[in-house]
Chain A
Amino acid sequence: MDSLTQVTIDFDRSHLIFPTLIGSILVLLSLAIIAKRRHKLAEAGAYWGQITGHMDKPRFFGTLALTVLYFSLMVPVGDIWPNTGLGFLICSIPYVFATGVLFMHERTLKQMLVMLVISVFAPALVWWLFTEIFFLTLP
């Protein structure tokens, strides 16, 4: 009986012990969940169809697209003026404006102008605060 519970750890392979254990538990739990929820799993297509059907697609996917674009451009733009954080500032202004307009419900000229002022002022203030006062690295 003792030998069944005894374990010898090979230090060179010790990095795999816990991931293997946790991975095995996850597989067992997945099987239990599949068994318990098999009816719901069969309706998964309809469930996701309902979610995407009710979704505000322009706002949701627009947010994702703008965010990916924002993240992708920040470093290349920042590399033009290294160690200044200008990549963050220059990319944040159009990003804040575009997402603000995307989330807006009534896009009047007045609302757009207010959003424009905010989208210049807020990133500029944050950029100044973090680079000049807190001396933090920005892209």
Chain B
Amino acid sequence: MEFLSLITPLFLALVVGGTFVGIIFGAIPGMTATMAVAVCLPLTYSLGLENGLALLLGLYVGGISGGLVPAVLLGIPGTPSSITTTFDGYPMAQRGEGEKALRIGITSSFVGGTISLFALYFFAPTLADFAIEFSYVEKFLIILFALTVMAALSKDMLMGIFSGFLGIFIALIGTYDISDGGNGNLRLVPPGTEYWLDSGFSLLPVLIGLFGLAAILDEAELGVPKGQSREDVKIGSGSTFSFSVFKGQAVNLIRSSGIGTFVGILPGVGGSAASILAYSNAKTFSKTPETFGTGEPAGLMASESGNNGLTGGALVPLLSLGIPGDSTTALLIGAFTLQGIQVGPLFIGNNPETWNAMIFAMLIANVAMFAMMYVAIRYFALVVTIPKHVLFPIILMMCVIGAYTINYGIMFDVWTLLIFGLFGWVAVKLGLEVAPFIIGFILGPSAEIYFVKSLESFGDLTIFFTKSWIAAVLWVLIIGSLIASVYMSKRQRKLETRSS
């Protein structure tokens, strides 16, 4: 209970404030939980680890939850994870049940977030205890597995794998660090750029560029679509909400939350996959599947409990293996790095107070999200009317601060933000996948150390297959994920051919 000393009024204010700001970010179409975390990251520089995490976790939970507001009221998903919320939430709003739909979504989000939090609390330490025994060989294979899973779940497996390896390649730019056992020599640095690229590209400017600037460039490309007017917001006046709507939906809620949590645990798989899987399962098991898509509350429950189930799940691989579960948790790695903490199997055991404070922050964030949105949903609904021409310039300015202050004032980091903002915009057009790229970029340097040191120690390539039974199991999983991806893509093609 020593962690209770960390729970100060400031800590609580940061969780609640972060959740509030996160809901606003999530509620504005085009802005995401990832962007909220990226923009607010510089605020954590002076806050210390626990307080900084309190703010970021609040933003994360709020950002994922806020996406349901425009999904229900406008039929536009506020975040990618709310796509399936539009299927039943918007039809409900169109028939005057906007407020009821929102409250169903809020309650389901709370259930999903809380169930995934329990999974995080009990599962992450067990996985970490198991992973402590891993040698460099198993650690390298875990990274390889993370990349293949992400690639397998990408739109195009080949492009997914390419994106992951490209991320690793770019992360290798700079010095082979002596502190990690390297020889201190430069590589992949073009002549004349040694001064700037000696340490390679910093992680946070890359992330802020990819998730902040690139998103705004996307909007600028589309002409910064005009914001919504109050008349567009169909909150509905006659709709009444009662918790009795959840009668008979316990299985749906628990199953969808479980799916969301499981998807979160898979590295690099976003909230959209969580809600789509949860929704399609709810439809499959429903006695009235034909009502899905016409304003069926069960569909809304599945979607929202599924995407909030992701929040706890995505923290499992981050805190037990050091592998981010999604793009937002990738940014949390940046927050840990800022405070000089390395996440991995030893994190929970060595930092029990921080671990408990994180769990507590997530719990408070879920409660705060539920309370704020349930009570003040009519006001949050108006967030979608905030004009983007006001928000985007301020976000761009905050991106600059985040990039500039990360290394205590290096202008090259600001240019990095621009380079990767442009790259993020072009990458999507080229069919590259940003999530595998980011995970590759984050894990690239570790993958190198594990790979080279394994070879230095054993001097034989077969060690990656023969080191232990865990290595053998990991190879089965790696090959299995690739085979499953090829099978799924062939099946998808067959279905498309049949339907056309």
Contact = CB atoms under 8 A, between A and B. Distances in A.
Given A67-B396, A99-B396, A100-B393, A5 B411 contact: no
Interface in A91-131: 92, 95-97, 99-105, 114-115, 118-119, 122-123, 126, 130
DSSP majority for the A interface? helix
Contacts of A30: 162
Given A15-B176, A22-B172, A135-B46, A59 B224 contact: yes
B411 A139 contact: yes
Contacts of B422: 64
A138 B404 contact: yes
A56 interface: yes
Instruction: Give the interface size class of chain B.
Output: 35 or more
A17 B221 contact: no
B376 interface: no
B42 interface: yes
Given A67-B418, A139-B411, A14 B176 contact: yes
Contacts of B462: 5
Contacts of B388: 103
A46 interface: no
A18 B451 contact: yes
Contacts, number: 171
Interface in A18-77: 18-19, 21-23, 25-26, 29-30, 32-33, 36, 48, 51, 55-56, 59-60, 62-64, 67-68, 70-71, 74-75
Contact of A14 (B169, B186, B456): B456
Given A15-B187, A103-B392, A136-B405, A130 B42 contact: yes
Interface in B40-65: 42-43, 45-46
Contacts of B405: 130, 136-138
A16 interface: yes
A136 B42 contact: yes
A12 B183 contact: yes
B158 A36 contact: yes
B2 interface: no
Interface in B144-199: 158-159, 161-162, 165-166, 168-169, 172, 175-176, 182-183, 185-188
Contacts of B393: 95-97, 99-100, 103, 119
B221 A56 contact: yes
A2 to B, nearest CB: 8
B409 A139 contact: yes
B397 A92 contact: yes
Interface of B: 42-43, 45-46, 158-159, 161-162, 165-166, 168-169, 172, 175-176, 182-183, 185-188, 213, 216-217, 220-224, 226, 387-390, 392-394, 396-398, 400-401, 404-405, 408-409, 411, 414-415, 418, 422, 429, 444, 447-448, 451-452, 455-456, 459-462
Interface of A: 2, 5-9, 11-12, 14-19, 21-23, 25-26, 29-30, 32-33, 36, 48, 51, 55-56, 59-60, 62-64, 67-68, 70-71, 74-75, 88, 92, 95-97, 99-105, 114-115, 118-119, 122-123, 126, 130, 133-139
The 7 closest A-B pairs by CB, nearest first: A56-B223, A15-B176, A103-B389, A137-B409, A134-B46, A18-B448, A99-B393
